[in-house]
Chains A and B, each alone.
Chain A
Amino acid sequence: MSDQIRLKKGLDLPIAGAALCEVTKRVAPGLVAVKPTDFRGMVPRLLVKEGDAVKAGTPLFADKKCTDMVFCSPVSGTVDAIVRGDKRKLLAVRIAADGKNESVSFDVPKAASLDKEAMTALLLRCGLWPCLKQRPYGTVADPQAEPKAIFISGFNTAPLGADYAFTLQNDFDALQAGVDALGKLTKGGVHLSLDARKFAGDELHKLTGVIFHSFEGPHPAGNVGVQINHISPINKGEVVWTVDLPLVAVIGRLFLKGVYDTHRTIAVAGPAAVNPSYAEVPAGVAMADLAGFFGNDGEIRVISGDVLTGETVGPDGFLGFFHNQVTVLKEGRYYEMFGWANPIRSKKFSVSRTYPAFLRCHKKYDMDTNENGGERPFLMNDVYGKVLPMDIYPLQLFKACLAGDLEKMENLGIYEIIEEDVALCEYVCPSKIAIQQIVRDGIDLMIKEM
């Protein structure tokens, strides 16, 4: 076990509607979608056409730059539609499941008998390579790269996030097989960070072949980027890979069962969710299959992911590949007379002490999507650092991104963050600046220019 790292900066959003630890719905595969847009830095080349029959594990599209890297169908059925956007950009491949649950069966040797090349080739062929993300930039991992190490966050601190201890309770063997497989890909070891508050009792603690770390603190302590920054920060020229814990189990299932099995238990939560709890779903599940959770009380926003980093998909959308939760919020299209001058404003939360919200420490708030103000230039300079537990000057980095100054971005630590790490900065920003977008543009510029 490694030393315990205690983070003070950050914020646990007191948002109402946490999911009860109970699976209340099991969604049989209906319509699902695989979205190339979930994978940063990948340009898809389509391998199927509408009407084709597919099984779970049949490649749907491949990366143009690395044609070995395929992205597979999560269910068996037929290709229902190929959805394109502006300039014919491929947005999604929709599969209508046939209910037969057939899978392509892969011939999988024992993980212990494989070397790095063989393991890479296997994961590429079975469509599981895209589970690996690469830092810097959060792109799909480059199979040619030599990663310094692989990092996994063993706990989830995102607002209303799925509790891995619950969702993966029956997947211990798969997790062990997954980390064994990942261990073959790097010489630096597989680093697993656990929540210090339940470190000893954590089932994950029994895994072998991993290097443990323990973190204590508010969100974003569970973000793998923050953990890397404290364990072994990314320097220029270095590459590390990260895998979400539920996807480690997915990789493990390949070795246990020889199939591409991406079904998962997700949290459906949020202030506007009816009976917030967990659901067992196939990857890329249609939100329509979860409609029972949404209610019909006014205009709602259905988010694949959490409220800080998730993507608005709407009630007709589909779950993202990396997402383990669906959040339902009320849209905040209302006016509030002299809201900014109201001394109490008891229904709204603020981390700043300009409202007395800090006195009501245990209250949960029915948060909605209102911006609570207009966009202004950067003014307050000390709010961002308080929610970013990294050795980074956030304001200066954001300004470097805005200016497109590559050298400054590099010097100030662009390699160490991706959007999710600065999401809280955007939440607290009194100037209502779209910080994640600024960082995203900055990263895109880095990818393009470097």
Chain B
Amino acid sequence: MAKNFFDKIRPTFSEGGKLSWLHSSFDAFETFFFVPNRVTKKGGVHVKDCVDLKRILIIVVLSLVPALLFGIWNLGEQHSIVFGLGWGFWEKVWYGFVKIIPLYLVSYIVGLGIEFASAQMKGHEVSEGYLVSGFIIPLIVPVDVPWWMLTLAVAFAVIIGKEVFGGTGMNIWNPALLARAFLFFSYPSKMSGDSVWVGGLSKALEGGTPWKGGEVVDALSGATPLSHASLDGLSQAGTSVLDLFVGNIPGAVGETSVIAILIGAFILLCTGVASWKIMCSSVLGALFVGWLGTSFGVTDIPCWEQLLMGGFAFGTVFMATDPVTSAQTECGKWIYGFLIGALCITVRLFNPGYPEGMMLAILLMNTFAPLIDHYVVSANINRRLKRAKTV
């Protein structure tokens, strides 16, 4: 039935049709519903592997789902704790759902809108890259971020971060992180502090909306553990290692639950979509600097606990491994990942102003990934030149 519908309207969008200028959009929808009937071209291979970018990106989205589902529940959970509401499971889920849906709407409408418009302008096929970025953005921004700010951030990330470089596959920085960085540096008051990570709390504090009981003190000290990045801080906040691991703590929607992220990592590694080298080396880098930190008395948090805190796990699994912005060479991936982990913890240890180092570490290494690749590839070139000389 859907096939007939597309067949019927195809002439309208084909060359010479009334809406031929909308061809890219038509194509995007058609290929979403149907793997197209195109056959291999002359002068190339005649059969092709059945994997395509849609498949790869849908796997990434799938791997993000556990983090999203947990995040939805956790939004309700944190709100319920802070405001002393004593909600049941479904009430929490409903609250989280209602909170997160507008963020997704904004992220996808704005982001995909720009992607479609830009593909339309260039006459290209619409690339699926934004499906993943758009899925990640709501998971890493404060849940109470005003819609207009998110709109600006998404537009900035897609236009300046991606389209000016030529679109999907050409960008230097991870678009999702760029959106978060935009918010972080443009509206610092909305992005940091203790209150932004619990749904409804900042509004309550500002506007004096009444809440039950005098829990605000508890609420504040129960906020994101990274504001108290020391063992004392953690225990004061009442956050145990188990809490960090399970994720029932305040924080960005997708980042809190290490368990949910590990499920995602499992999917990505089993399917071979994300690079195990980057994940592995990033963990090694973090452990190394975390260990240095404890050895020299900079911090009293054991290095392995660093892995559970803040956005480290989410960043390592889902954003450092972005194939476009990471290092492209296998050897380069080890260096790239290691430096991300190391830098993340370094920022955490030495700069109280930016307790969350992961975003900055990844963006910085995105910037340097081409340099790393350059040296790795140069080594290959030198090997070839040397071979020529010795023969």
Contact residues of A with B, CB < 8 Å? 13, 15, 233, 235-238, 301, 303, 307-312, 327, 329, 331-341, 345, 348-355, 357, 367-382, 385, 391-393, 395-396, 411-413, 423, 426-432, 434-437, 440
Contacting residue for B330 out of A233, A345, A382, A392, CB 8 A: A382
The reply to whether A426 and B36 form a contact with Cβ atoms under 8 Å apart is: no
The reply to whether A376 and B39 form a contact with Cβ atoms under 8 Å apart is: no
Give A306's nearest chain B residue, CB to CB.
Answer: B46
The reply to whether A377 and B329 form a contact with Cβ atoms under 8 Å apart is: no
B164 lies within 8 A of chain A by Cβ: no
Contacts of B391 in A (CB 8 A): 235, 238
The reply to whether B51 and A354 form a contact with Cβ atoms under 8 Å apart is: yes
Contacting residue for A349 out of B2, B45, B50, B384, CB 8 A: B50
Contacts of A426 in B (CB 8 A): 44-45, 48
B206 lies within 8 A of chain A by Cβ: no
Query: How far in angstroms is the closest Cβ of chain A from B125?
Result: 5
The reply to whether A372 and B167 form a contact with Cβ atoms under 8 Å apart is: no
Contacts of B388 in A (CB 8 A): 235-237
Task: Determine the distance from Cα of A435 to Cα of B43 in the docked complex, in whole angstroms.
Answer: 10
Interface class of chain A by DSSP: loop
Which residues of B (18-54) have their CB < 8 Å from a CB of A?
27, 31, 33-54
Which residues of B (161-212) have their CB < 8 Å from a CB of A?
166-170
B8 lies within 8 A of chain A by Cβ: no
Task: Determine the distance from Cα of A351 to Cα of B50 in the docked complex, in whole angstroms.
Answer: 9
Query: How far in angstroms is the closest Cβ of chain A from B346?
Result: 27
Task: Determine the distance from Cα of A223 to Cα of B270 in the docked complex, in whole angstroms.
Answer: 31
The reply to whether A413 and B271 form a contact with Cβ atoms under 8 Å apart is: no
B56 lies within 8 A of chain A by Cβ: yes
The reply to whether B35 and A339 form a contact with Cβ atoms under 8 Å apart is: yes
Q: How large is the interface on B (under 10, 10 to 19, 20 to 34, 35 or more residues)?
A: 35 or more
Contacts of B54 in A (CB 8 A): 340-341, 373
The reply to whether B51 and A352 form a contact with Cβ atoms under 8 Å apart is: yes
The reply to whether B43 and A379 form a contact with Cβ atoms under 8 Å apart is: no
With A13-B47, A369-B39 given, is the CB distance from A377 to B167 under 8 Å?
yes
The 8 closest A-B pairs by CB, nearest first: A373-B52, A377-B169, A339-B35, A235-B388, A348-B50, A335-B34, A340-B54, A336-B35
The reply to whether A307 and B383 form a contact with Cβ atoms under 8 Å apart is: no
Give A412's nearest chain B residue, CB to CB.
Answer: B381
Task: Determine the distance from Cα of A17 to Cα of B330 in the docked complex, in whole angstroms.
Answer: 36
Query: How far in angstroms is the closest Cβ of chain B from A397?
Result: 10
Contacting residue for A355 out of B34, B41, B50, B169, CB 8 A: B50
Give B381's nearest chain A residue, CB to CB.
Answer: A411
With A235-B387, A354-B273 given, is the CB distance from A430 to B49 under 8 Å?
yes
The reply to whether A430 and B53 form a contact with Cβ atoms under 8 Å apart is: yes
Interface centre among B38, B166, B275, B323 (most CB of A within 10 A): B38
B302 lies within 8 A of chain A by Cβ: no
The reply to whether A340 and B55 form a contact with Cβ atoms under 8 Å apart is: yes
Contacts of A374 in B (CB 8 A): 27, 31, 36, 38, 52, 125
With A354-B51, A373-B52, A374-B38 given, is the CB distance from A381 to B323 under 8 Å?
yes
